[in-house]
Amino acid sequence: MNTVYKIIEPLKPYFFSLREIGDNVSLDLKLPVKWKYEEMKNPNEETPFAIKVQDKKSEHTLVSLISPSTEDGYEMVFKYAETVISVNVEEEQKAKLFDEKVAELKNMFLSSPLDKLKDISFNGKETNEITRLSNSPGDGKIELGDSKGPGKDK
């Protein structure tokens, strides 16, 4: 048996409220202002669904996910909310990782000799091993995988 807590827990800290308004259910989320929420795929094309921005502040947007107050409608708004959260959290993590890798690459360029830097190649093949430039012998090549990345993992 699912408890209300188990259903809402995956939406924290973005869950704001759950209401029934007339014949509709409205799941309200307080999302960071930069997050995308309208571009997600509707998980059930047969169930009517709408998104309404209730309030927009400089740090967050209050968004209502609205569907009929039926079992399918409730399932729809919760699945959509979980998708919005997971996609945006992953995008934030990718952006953070990208910034970290750019900083690593910058440090590598600042601390390595030019002749070793000229041998760096990014061939797009996935590899479990990255050869780092150092003072130790080696060919100085770095291979970065791209099994997933912007535009490729949607």
Query: To which H or E segment does residue 95 belong?
Result: helix 71-111
Q: Model's pTM, two decimal places? A: 0.69
- Sign of torsion, CA 71 74 80 83? negative
Q: How many CB atoms lie within 10 A of CB 125?
A: 10
Sheet holding 50-56, edge to edge: 15-21, 24-32, 60-68, 50-56
* pLDDT per residue rounded down to tens, the chain (154 residues): 568 889 999 999 999 999 999 999 999 999 999 999 887 777 667 788 899 999 988 889 999 999 999 999 999 999 999 999 999 999 999 999 999 999 998 998 899 888 888 888 877 665 444 444 433 444 444 444 444 444 444 3
What's the CA gap between 122 and 112, in Å, rounded? Answer: 17
- Kindly give, in sequence order, each residue whose CB lies less than 8 Å from that of residue 46, ignoring residues fewer than 6 positions away: 72
